[in-house]
Chain A
Amino acid sequence: QVQLQESGPGLVKPSETLSLTCTVSTGSIIDYYWSWIRQPAGKGLEWIGRIYSSGSTNYNPSLKSRVTMSVDTSKNQFSLKLSSVTAADTAVYYCARDLGSSALGDWGPGTLVTVSS
């Protein structure tokens, strides 16, 4: 198991860019996929996308035009940027390790991002 921790601003203004980082500890970021998932208050889970340690990405088509993921192997971190945010992007954002055939085995505790002026 690895430990993951999301970090970033808890408040973002409408039309601006949401930026989050996930730090991976007690394990290496190399040779794994890393995912972002979000959950609006009282609602279900939405898969945002994933990135491989090499930088290869797969995004949810519903968000693809606004999402950028990146990875920094030297810092054992990966990041999410979501542009042109609206109130509908207010949610708890989770990062997770994608074990491929073994699914999303390790999750961060989540971080609440509120979009409001």
Chain B
Amino acid sequence: DIQMTQSPSTLSASVGDRVTITCRASQSISIWLAWFQQKPGKAPKLLIYKASSLESGVPSRFSGSGSGTEFTLTISSLQPDDFATYYCQQYDNYPYNFGQGTKLEMK
């Protein structure tokens, strides 16, 4: 199985900050990585697929980069609605494992 490790586990930030979350795969997954945002009591929402492709309707302040084993999700200017938990998921090899999550909280 491919293990996905996110860092940090918790991130404290303020509105307007630029934030970056990292996701590392235990082996190369090329570009087959997705990022999701999840708010309490809600289903995850797809933000980024194929490592850097922005899902339709997702604000352009979200961006993804990386390939191989190291990936990042960047929010260029944090908005109040962005405080949530973020997950990466690889879909290169079965099982399509998720990272453990990064909780983005208000400083």
CB within 8 Å of B: which residues of A? Answer: 35, 37, 44-47, 49-50, 58-62, 94, 96, 99, 101-105, 107-110
Q: Are A103 and B46 in contact (CB under 8 A)?
A: yes
What number of A-B contacts does a CB cutoff of 8 Å give? Answer: 60
Nearest A residue to B42 via CB reads A109
The interface residues of chain B lying within 8 Å CB-to-CB of A47 are 89, 95-98
Q: Are A58 and B94 in contact (CB under 8 A)?
A: yes
Q: What distance in Å separates the Cβ of A26 from its nearest Cβ neighbour in chain B?
A: 16
Q: A47-B98, A107-B43 are in contact. List 6 more A-B contacts (CB 8 A).
A: A58-B94, A61-B95, A62-B95, A102-B50, A103-B50, A104-B44
Determine if B49 is an interface residue (Cβ-Cβ < 8 Å).
Answer: yes
Q: A-B pairs with the 9 shortest C-beta distances?
A: A103-B34, A107-B43, A103-B49, A60-B95, A45-B98, A47-B96, A102-B49, A44-B101, A44-B100
The interface residues of chain B lying within 8 Å CB-to-CB of A44 are 87, 98-101
CB within 8 Å of A: which residues of B? Answer: 1, 32, 34, 36, 42-46, 49-50, 53, 55, 87, 89, 91, 94-101
Bound together, the chains give a CA A109 to CA B42 distance in angstroms of 6
Contact of B87 among A45, A60, A94 (CB under 8 A): A45
Q: Are B95 and A101 in contact (CB under 8 A)?
A: no
Bound together, the chains give a CA A107 to CA B44 distance in angstroms of 7
The interface residues of chain A lying within 8 Å CB-to-CB of B94 are 58, 60-61
Nearest B residue to A58 via CB reads B94
The interface residues of chain A lying within 8 Å CB-to-CB of B99 are 44
Q: Are A45 and B43 in contact (CB under 8 A)?
A: no
Q: What distance in Å separates the Cβ of A98 from its nearest Cβ neighbour in chain B?
A: 8
Q: Are B91 and A103 in contact (CB under 8 A)?
A: yes
18 contacts between A and B (CB under 8 A): A37-B44, A44-B87, A44-B98, A45-B36, A45-B44, A45-B101, A94-B43, A96-B43, A99-B49, A101-B50, A102-B49, A102-B50, A103-B50, A104-B34, A107-B45, A108-B43, A109-B42, A110-B43
